[in-house]
Protein backbone atom coordinates (compact mmCIF):
# COMPACT_ATOMS: atom_id res chain seq x y z
CA UNK A 1 0.00 0.00 0.00
CA UNK A 2 2.56 2.57 1.13
CA UNK A 3 6.09 2.22 -0.11
CA UNK A 4 8.66 4.31 1.73
CA UNK A 5 12.35 4.51 1.25
CA UNK A 6 14.13 2.81 4.21
CA UNK A 7 16.50 5.78 4.48
CA UNK A 8 13.56 8.14 5.03
CA UNK A 9 12.07 5.80 7.62
CA UNK A 10 15.44 5.64 9.41
CA UNK A 11 15.48 9.45 9.61
CA UNK A 12 11.82 9.79 10.63
CA UNK A 13 11.97 7.36 13.57
CA UNK A 14 14.26 9.45 15.83
CA UNK A 15 12.56 12.68 14.77
CA UNK A 16 9.11 11.35 15.67
CA UNK A 17 10.46 9.88 18.92
CA UNK A 18 11.83 13.27 20.01
CA UNK A 19 8.60 15.03 19.02
CA UNK A 20 6.59 12.43 20.97
CA UNK A 21 8.73 12.85 24.08
CA UNK A 22 8.35 16.62 24.00
CA UNK A 23 4.59 16.28 23.46
CA UNK A 24 4.32 13.99 26.51
CA UNK A 25 6.37 16.39 28.64
CA UNK A 26 4.24 19.37 27.61
CA UNK A 27 1.05 17.40 28.29
CA UNK A 28 2.23 16.43 31.78
CA UNK A 29 3.15 20.04 32.57
CA UNK A 30 -0.22 21.36 31.38
CA UNK A 31 -2.26 18.70 33.22
CA UNK A 32 -0.36 19.13 36.50
CA UNK A 33 -0.70 22.91 36.21
CA UNK A 34 -4.45 22.61 35.78
CA UNK A 35 -4.72 20.26 38.75
CA UNK A 36 -2.80 22.74 40.92
CA UNK A 37 -4.97 25.60 39.66
CA UNK A 38 -8.16 23.68 40.48
CA UNK A 39 -6.88 22.82 43.97
CA UNK A 40 -5.92 26.46 44.56
CA UNK A 41 -9.32 27.78 43.46
CA UNK A 42 -11.04 25.20 45.68
CA UNK A 43 -9.03 26.38 48.68
CA UNK A 44 -9.75 30.04 47.91
CA UNK A 45 -13.49 29.33 47.66
CA UNK A 46 -13.39 27.48 50.98
CA UNK A 47 -11.57 30.40 52.66
CA UNK A 48 -14.04 32.94 51.27
CA UNK A 49 -16.98 30.95 52.61
CA UNK A 50 -15.29 30.33 55.95
CA UNK A 51 -15.37 26.59 55.47
CA UNK A 52 -12.58 24.40 56.70
CA UNK A 53 -9.94 23.89 54.02
CA UNK A 54 -10.26 20.40 52.55
CA UNK A 55 -7.42 18.05 53.33
CA UNK A 56 -5.81 16.19 50.45
CA UNK A 57 -6.36 12.43 50.57
CA UNK A 58 -3.17 10.46 51.11
CA UNK A 59 -1.65 9.21 47.88
CA UNK A 60 -1.20 5.48 47.52
CA UNK A 61 2.47 4.62 47.34
CA UNK A 62 3.63 2.57 44.41
CA UNK A 63 6.07 -0.19 45.21
CA UNK A 64 9.66 0.96 44.94
CA UNK A 65 12.22 -1.32 43.39
CA UNK A 66 14.98 -0.42 45.78
CA UNK A 67 15.49 -3.79 47.35
CA UNK A 68 18.27 -6.17 46.46
CA UNK A 69 15.75 -8.95 46.01
CA UNK A 70 13.73 -7.08 43.37
CA UNK A 71 16.78 -6.07 41.32
CA UNK A 72 18.24 -9.54 41.74
CA UNK A 73 15.14 -11.17 40.30
CA UNK A 74 14.96 -8.67 37.44
CA UNK A 75 18.60 -9.19 36.44
CA UNK A 76 18.47 -12.95 36.91
CA UNK A 77 15.50 -13.41 34.60
CA UNK A 78 16.81 -10.81 32.14
CA UNK A 79 20.06 -12.75 31.91
CA UNK A 80 18.30 -16.07 31.44
CA UNK A 81 16.08 -14.66 28.68
CA UNK A 82 19.05 -12.98 26.98
CA UNK A 83 21.04 -16.24 27.18
CA UNK A 84 18.23 -18.26 25.61
CA UNK A 85 17.50 -15.66 22.92
CA UNK A 86 21.16 -15.45 21.86
CA UNK A 87 21.49 -19.23 21.91
CA UNK A 88 18.50 -19.68 19.63
CA UNK A 89 19.32 -16.80 17.29
CA UNK A 90 23.11 -16.97 16.99
CA UNK A 91 24.94 -19.82 18.69
CA UNK A 92 25.97 -21.09 22.09
CA UNK A 93 29.39 -19.43 22.36
CA UNK A 94 27.85 -15.95 22.04
CA UNK A 95 24.96 -16.72 24.36
CA UNK A 96 27.34 -16.97 27.32
CA UNK A 97 27.24 -13.15 27.53
CA UNK A 98 23.63 -13.43 28.62
CA UNK A 99 24.76 -15.16 31.78
CA UNK A 100 26.55 -12.01 32.98
CA UNK A 101 23.37 -10.16 34.09
CA UNK A 102 22.07 -13.48 35.43
CA UNK A 103 25.19 -13.84 37.58
CA UNK A 104 24.80 -10.28 38.88
CA UNK A 105 21.14 -11.01 39.67
CA UNK A 106 22.09 -14.19 41.50
CA UNK A 107 24.70 -12.26 43.50
CA UNK A 108 22.10 -9.65 44.44
CA UNK A 109 19.71 -12.39 45.54
CA UNK A 110 22.43 -13.94 47.70
CA UNK A 111 23.17 -10.51 49.21
CA UNK A 112 19.46 -10.05 49.92
CA UNK A 113 19.30 -13.44 51.63
CA UNK A 114 22.38 -12.58 53.71
CA UNK A 115 20.95 -9.14 54.59
CA UNK A 116 17.61 -10.69 55.56
CA UNK A 117 19.38 -13.21 57.81
CA UNK A 118 21.33 -10.42 59.58
CA UNK A 119 18.15 -8.48 60.34
CA UNK A 120 16.51 -11.47 62.03
CA UNK A 121 19.26 -11.87 64.59
For the chain, domain boundaries: 1-58, 68-113
Identify the segments of the chain with pLDDT beneath 70: 1, 62-66, 116-121
At a CB cut-off of 8 Å and minimum separation 6, what does 73 contact?
105, 109
Q: CA nearest 79: which of 54, 96, 55? A: 96
Residue 120 has what pLDDT? 55
Residue 93 has what pLDDT? 80
pLDDT digits (tens, 9 = 90+) for 86-118: 888 888 888 888 889 999 999 988 888 887 666
What CA–CA distances, in Å, run from 32 to 36, 39, 53?
A: 6, 11, 21
What CA–CA distances, in Å, run from 71 to 12, 48, 89?
A: 35, 51, 26
Amino acid sequence: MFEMNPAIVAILIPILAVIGIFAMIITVIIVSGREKELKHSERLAAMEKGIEIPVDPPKAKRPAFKSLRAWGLVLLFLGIVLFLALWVQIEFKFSIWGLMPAAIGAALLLAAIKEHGEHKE
